[in-house]
Structure 1
């Protein structure tokens, strides 16, 4: 992993510094840019994120506690082995929570929120057709889902979803084959179900929307040879 490739993936949205490091390295792992068994270079991560080595180490320790990295004494942090089933399990959990929130939002949706969701869909479409770039497209995708989740008026469930969703890369979904088109088709379907207050339909579409994303990510990682034959 070269410093140039790391710098090229760094984002501009700021979090707590260790959390930002953890988010960035998760994205490197789940996008296949660093592979199981590969050591993480702390200086490269510090350069990419624009922080000192202290928050880098804290962020990597966080990922070690989550199981994404293994700390080898006197050697450093190495990417842990993970399987296609592990990735699918994470997306399954997110799909269940996101589906429940969508169903609750369908019962509580307000005209203002419907208008905001419609506007986000329009902006996403404009971003795609005018080639505004992956960061803008991914940000609008994230904003749509966040708006749906907030509409459920279930803050604890939304926070639980956020804790699960932090395992997934946010800034490269537009690079996964078929995902931009899936959002263009499925976001309007979700909005239609919410507008008609069809809770079951909203749940089903949202769950399938998330699960298909996981399937696409697994296919991409398999194509890159991330999973071993034994997995």
Structure 2
């Protein structure tokens, strides 16, 4: 009987994931400038690109409506909202603020095992750089570094809030930051040192600076590509 009751929940979770896939795909289109503010989105091409039916597409667009990426116009459909460089910077500012607070809390609560894991990650990153490893390797190590700190903070609600902010930008944007190896090689050891010395404020400041410095470079790169509304491609 219990297994029967679980089936609708499993279907709902599966459909929710499809909606998230749609939302992620359309976010990428919007932020990369492939669709422009004021442009109406047709569900059929989106459904074909993601490999889903029209229902998850509509649900995914409703998710984006709640995030401010699109607007629902009665009897016409979904239209792309204005999305500026300042909007991108605001998202990174929110991420940096929450990640900084998590780092500060981690400085008070991190275990010796977690510190050892962070040190190992930094060593692996340096070795990968020396060996000219693929960016996939260094990006994965960077993500694991941040994930470990967030877990060490032991602040589930705050971590969930951070995840909600992070998902509003395509993964490749965060990958660009973690793949920026010179900054990571300098910033991550300093963050680890602050955590090991239980210096909460320093850990907060270093984490915020690390995220925002990457964001500034990313925004400058996007501006050069002319993806913002009114700018030439």
TM-score range (shorter-chain normalised) is: 0.7 to 0.9
* Other-structure match for 1:29: 30
Shift of 1:73: 4.4
Q: Distance in 1 between matches of 2:133 and 2:44?
A: 33
**TM-score, normalising length: structure 1:** 0.79
Distance 1:39 1:121, change over 3 A: farther
Distance 1:39 1:212, change over 3 A: farther
Shift of 1:178: 7.8
Distance 1:202 1:42, change over 3 A: same
**TM-score, normalising length: structure 2:** 0.79
The answer to whether the 8 A contact 1:32-1:224 is kept is no
* Other-structure match for 1:205: 206
Stretches of structure 1 lacking an aligned partner (at least 5 in a row): 1-14
Task: State the Cα deviation string for residues 69-115 of structure 1 (Å, max 9, x = none).
Answer: 12344554332112222222222122111111101101111111112
* Other-structure match for 1:142: 143
The answer to whether the 8 A contact 2:138-2:178 is kept is no
Q: Give the match's secondary structure for 1:51.
A: coil
Q: Distance in 1 between matches of 2:127 and 2:39?
A: 39
Which structure 2 residues correspond to residues 182-201 of structure 1 after superposition, within 5 A?
182-201=183-202
Q: Aligned-residue CA RMSD in angstroms? A: 2.8
Q: Distance in 2 between matches of 1:213 and 1:43?
A: 36
Q: Distance in 2 between matches of 1:43 and 1:179?
A: 37
Shift of 1:156: 1.1
Q: Distance in 1 between matches of 2:139 and 2:72?
A: 32
The answer to whether the 8 A contact 1:137-1:174 is kept is no
Shift of 1:208: 0.7
Relative to total residues, which structure has the larger helix share, 1 or 2? 2
Equivalenced residue count is: 216
Task: State the Cα deviation string for residues 107-148 of structure 1 (Å, max 9, x = none).
Answer: 1111111122223334444555444244x4433322221111
* Other-structure match for 1:220: 221
The answer to whether the 8 A contact 2:21-2:60 is kept is yes
Larger Rg computed on CA atoms:
2
